[in-house]
Amino acid sequence: MTIQPDWHTADIIAALRKKGTTLAAVSRLAGLSSSTLANALSRPWPKGESLIADAINVHPSEIWPSRYYDPVTGKPKERKIRAAIADQYLG
């Protein structure tokens, strides 16, 4: 299985703009400082990834496949996420 590359940061920002929002606005809407979600762009942070992905209506694994799938096996990686977020995606 070939894992797609992670989205470029500019593509994430552009996707948010196409939805009529910004990274800062999504961050503030979640009750965070306006710059907090920028952390998810450069390093793994499941909560931040979910907030960004929700804003553009995709699963976080579409944006950051390297954080969710093992590149050798192609199988999902173990990720520690809150039960509420997991329930949202797993049903």
What pLDDT digit, counting tens, does each position of 26-65 carry? 999 999 999 999 999 999 999 999 999 999 999 999 999 9
Checking if the pLDDT of 14 tops 70, the result is yes
Please tell me the predicted confidence (pLDDT) of residue 76.
Answer: 82
Using pLDDT thresholds of 50, 70 and 90, give the confidence band for residue 72.
confident
61: CATH: 1.10.260.40
**The whole model's pTM is what?**
0.81
Q: What are phi and psi of 89, to 5 degrees?
A: -95, -25
* CA-based nearest residue to 90, from 61, 52, 55, 56: 61
Q: How many structural domains comprise the chain?
A: 1
Q: Which domain does 19 fall in, by range? A: 9-90
Q: What are phi and psi of 69, to 5 degrees?
A: -125, 140
Using pLDDT thresholds of 50, 70 and 90, give the confidence band for residue 90.
low
Pair 68, 77: CB distance under 8 Å: yes
- Tell me which DSSP letter residue 81 carries: -
